[in-house]
Structure 1
Amino acid sequence: MAGRSRNTPEHPSAAGGGEPGEGLLPADFDLADLYGARGGGDEDLDDSAVLVPPITLPPDSELVAAALAVPLIAHAVALARWTLPHRPVDEFGDLTDGDREAAARLLGLAPAEGEVPEEAVVEAMRAWALACDLDLVETGTTAEGDHAAIPGPDLEAAEQGDPSVVLGLWLDAAGIMRELAAEADSLAPEGEGEEEDAPEDELSDVEQARDAAADLLDEALQVLYEMTAFAEPGEETVPLGVLAALLVVPEGEEPDEEMLGDITDLMVTLDPMLGDLAELGLLEHRPIDPDLFEEEGEEAEDEEAGARRAAEARAAAAEQEPDEEEAARFGTVRLTPLGQYAVREWLLEQGYDAPLVGDLAEGDAEALLRGITESGNVLPDLELQAWLEDREPEAAARELLAAARGRDVHGPVRRMFCMIAVEELGDPARPAVREVLDDPELSGAARAWLRGRGEDVAAPERAVALWTAVDSFAAVMLTSEGDAGRMRDLVAELPVTDNPASYFGELWRVDHPYTPQVLEIVGELHLDRGVAKEARKAAFRARSQQR
């Protein structure tokens, strides 16, 4: 699974998804009104440095139960057990004609007596093929020269719910279905014959189309993975139009008329592929309502009438916003926990860092603070909560405070998250906090924390107070992610006296790695020109001092 690229207005599948009918399509509505989403943030994403957000997965036992509840998986396991002690097959490993109907009855796809519908046999053979692909069934030749099938070595472990076996089998099945979904999309109706009989250039075209469909499906799954990671519980379902828009509309742009048409085409392309994956429990999928499109064989309208109809549809859409049910007719999709598990495994196979929430909880405080400070795809609050759980508060606070020390470039953020964790621990952390009242790096924050809890603790010395001010400002600066409003508020709160030259004359001498940068930001953002000028002068002096 390659790193996705959401900035793909000319994606092959978006441009070549086929011509939908002229019914009321997503392109006939305003994207924001219909889907409640636009093209994304302002920053440019570099595919070479994809940051995969952390997710929370349910326990293995729940994932195993969900995997075994997938009908196709349950059928494959049942057929493997049915082969005991062995069952005759043909030279291709397929069931004989008589056993095909028996398999359909065994799986409950046909009544115990009477005629077996053809579709029931087809479904039973699909399950048989999957059982063979997963090695739940092994075929070979007996000593007498007959072809036979026997259960594979993993059957018993699968029936007993062994997590590594069951999830491994399900993941293999998901990979097969993922490949088949892309392959089915790449074949045009006239290309359903034997590929071996096609000219070489046509085979090349099919292979390129298959690769493009596979890339598109991978991108869609990764977008769903990211959206699910950040979704509130119960809000993981995504309109198909939102998913398509994120793949079509470049970052920071509004969709134009052409993009809205591409979104519609892409939805039509993705819809059947997502339906295939839903069959294996990787997704929950509501397909596009076929009534939205013209019935086949309906007489085509002339160009002028079609243009008039489209204009009327857009005008009607502009006057009223479609309700949830109407929007859902354009299709929805939800990545299940099993789907999150699969996408994460595929990302890990490709070398991406795809963390789980709580990964840092197993390490010590030093590893925790280093991880949440230096990693770009960590949710600090959740990692802190996971680490603090079941730890003795006083000992945890002591360990965190010790790990927060250091005047390296990450030190300010480490100390910020340390105090957030100490705040979470509350009163039981007091003894550990008192122990650092004389520490030059922690004293300021420690004294402020204790005074906030009503303790009669002296204010820190002037040098410590100034150092702590720079340290705290630097922590916000490093974690504000370019939020100018947040930085302006912080600058406005600086305790600058009526004599800014005196204040900044002290501040630029503070021996802190971020003193120059802090002063430069104050010089850029402070609304008082006199204060800003003194800050810029102090920044120059601080930078000269550090050279």
Structure 2
Amino acid sequence: MSSHHPEAPSHRRFAARPVSLLPTEELANRALSSRLMRTAIGLARWCGPVTPVDADGVPDLADVRVAIEKFGLWPRALCRDREQREIWTEQLDSVSQAEEFLATWRTAQHLGMIECETGQARPARELERWLGSTGRILRWWTLAFHLCVDRALRGTAGLEPHTALGRLYESPNGARIPLRLVTQEVLPARETHYLPSRCPAWSTVLLTRALVQLADAGAVSVGWHDPWHDPWSDTSGAHGHRPGPAWVQLTDLGRFGVRQILLAEEQSAPLTEEFIRLDADEFLDALADFSPDGQLVALTAWLDARAPQQALREIVAASSGAGLALRRWNATMALGSISSRIEPDLYALLRSADPTVSSLASVVLLASRMLSDAERARLTAEFGHWTAIDMFAAATCLGETGLKSFLVSEAAEGIDRLLLGDITRLWQPEHPDTREVLRVLGRHHPDPSIAARARAAEAHAPPRPRP
């Protein structure tokens, strides 16, 4: 399948949409206030001047009980029941059962807050000085976040971290996403094939538990419409009660943390202040890499940095010409968001002798709902066939899977019939991608009758003019 996507040397691919971050001092303050960091620092101070530890660097059971009481490191399900907490602590007969304590203790050790040698643990000698360093605090938190992500998403929920974190990162800042949507999008598809009917609900519980662990790191906020819901219990009680819908939101600190993960894997994760300086060609090409939510954020950021007429000039210059169908597709999306502010300019572009420019303007106007029925009919008759070819040419850039999805989408509904309803119009004027589009439609269109008409139109194409 051919590609109309420009691969100029300047084109950069982005792993994630552009983001804005808080100043490092504010991020460091939020890191220190997270439960995970607060407790890890507390344990480091608590073990001084020295605390005896075993060969694995873990305190004895008596000291662990003291730390659990001091820092509230009971199992989650017991946190609101004092009597049950006391019973659990008394019955604790192995440090291995104190999972909350162990996870935080190991984190503090891993970060270098606690030093263990010759059977004794003590606070790192430079601990208090380090706590005054913004850079050190953020490095600590980033490493702790990486550990938490691996433990929570891989260990608890059985998910690849990028699946869940990518969904949250792409959402607009401050967006509260219903947990049911996150569950539907990130849980492995294989669950629906062989697990019992109760397992999807149980998977939601596991995902919720993982998100609560990330909330301890300060990376996400999780909320319930039912204030009494316990995320560490089953989704239904003894009487079949189900909690209200939950939501999850990536915090500013979490956005910083996910970006650090992307950068550590040498993925491109632009900052908004860098992204808005991109030239129009790079900006339009980048839109193809983002999710729908990411596209919305990227569009808003880039367009807000320019006057509407300036944005129009830059976008038209970058998207006109042969071989740029996908870029024009993204251009119509960008210009559509400011169409009411550039309406006269769009009408002026309709008179352009370049069909890539005039058809671009017609698509934006047709999508704007600013036209009368008569104007819509006129533009459709004048530019409809050329624009339809351009749209299908752009869709071929999405790969076979993306093309097939487009062919059954609402965006493509009726366009294929318009295109093939009057074969003579296909060549007046001829779009440079007409023949390729007919070949692709004939091979991949899900409607056999339309596929056959596309093959017939391709077979009766007029001879190419000699250069």
- TM class by shorter chain equals 0.5 to 0.7
Match of 2:8 in 1: none
Match of 1:259 in 2: 196
* Contact 1:488–1:526, Cα closer than 8 Å, also in 2: no
* Contact 1:519–1:539, Cα closer than 8 Å, also in 2: yes
TM-score w.r.t. length of structure 2: 0.60
Q: Deviations along 1:411-443, whole A, 9 cap, x unmatched?
A: 122123324433444546866985893445314
Comparing 347-356 with 485-494, greater Cα deviation is found at 347-356
**Rounded Cα–Cα distance in structure 2 between residues aligned with 1:510 and 1:488:** 22
SS of 1:334's partner is strand
Match of 2:159 in 1: 219
SS of 1:259's partner is coil
Q: Deviations along 1:133-183, whole A, 9 cap, x unmatched?
A: 322455789xxxx99645437x556446x2x4333212222334456669x
The reply on whether 1:390 has 2:311 as its aligned counterpart is no
| Greater Rg by CA | 1
The reply on whether 1:404 has 2:326 as its aligned counterpart is no
Aligned-residue Cα RMSD (Å) equals 5.9
**Rounded Cα–Cα distance in structure 2 between residues aligned with 1:437 and 1:262:** 59
Distance 1:91 1:494, change over 3 A: closer
- Structure 1 residue 293, shift from structure 2 partner: 7.8
**Rounded Cα–Cα distance in structure 2 between residues aligned with 1:290 and 1:467:** 57
SS of 1:247's partner is coil
* Contact 2:50–2:121, Cα closer than 8 Å, also in 1: yes
Q: What letter is aligned with 1:167?
A: L
The reply on whether 1:421 has 2:334 as its aligned counterpart is yes
Aligned counterparts, 1:104-119, within 5 A: none
1:247 to 164, 180, 188: 188
Match of 2:281 in 1: 366
2:137 to 162, 166, 169: 166
Q: What letter is aligned with 1:470?
A: I
- Structure 1 residue 224, shift from structure 2 partner: 3.1
TM-score w.r.t. length of structure 1: 0.53
Distance 1:541 1:358, change over 3 A: farther
* Contact 1:519–1:536, Cα closer than 8 Å, also in 2: yes
Q: How many aligned residue pairs are there?
A: 402
**Rounded Cα–Cα distance in structure 2 between residues aligned with 1:245 and 1:385:** 27
**Rounded Cα–Cα distance in structure 2 between residues aligned with 1:427 and 1:372:** 22
> Identity of paired residues, percent?
20
The reply on whether 1:135 has 2:89 as its aligned counterpart is no
Distance 1:478 1:489, change over 3 A: farther
Q: What letter is aligned with 2:415?
A: L
Distance 1:91 1:390, change over 3 A: same
**Rounded Cα–Cα distance in structure 1 between residues aligned with 2:459 and 2:353:** 31
**Rounded Cα–Cα distance in structure 2 between residues aligned with 1:380 and 1:392:** 19
Q: Deviations along 1:30-75, whole A, 9 cap, x unmatched?
A: xxxxxxxxxxxxxxxxxxxxx9764857635665443222234124
Where does the alignment leave 5 or more consecutive residues of structure 2 unmatched? 1-13, 74-85, 90-97, 224-229
* Contact 1:240–1:267, Cα closer than 8 Å, also in 2: no
Q: What letter is aligned with 2:137?
A: V
* Contact 2:219–2:254, Cα closer than 8 Å, also in 1: yes
* Contact 1:348–1:354, Cα closer than 8 Å, also in 2: yes
**Rounded Cα–Cα distance in structure 2 between residues aligned with 1:266 and 1:170:** 28
Match of 1:59 in 2: 22
SS of 2:425's partner is helix
1:437 to 323, 344, 352: 352
Aligned counterparts, 1:225-244, within 5 A: 225-228=165-168, 235-238=176-179, 242=183
Q: Deviations along 1:388-431, whole A, 9 cap, x unmatched?
A: 112233333222111112312xx122123324433444546866
Distance 1:150 1:101, change over 3 A: farther
* Contact 1:87–1:149, Cα closer than 8 Å, also in 2: yes
1:490 to 412, 415, 421: 415
Aligned counterparts, 1:246-325, within 5 A: 246-247=187-188, 249=190, 258-263=195-200, 276-282=213-219, 284=222, 286-289=230-233
Match of 1:471 in 2: 390
* Contact 1:433–1:446, Cα closer than 8 Å, also in 2: yes
**Rounded Cα–Cα distance in structure 2 between residues aligned with 1:418 and 1:240:** 29
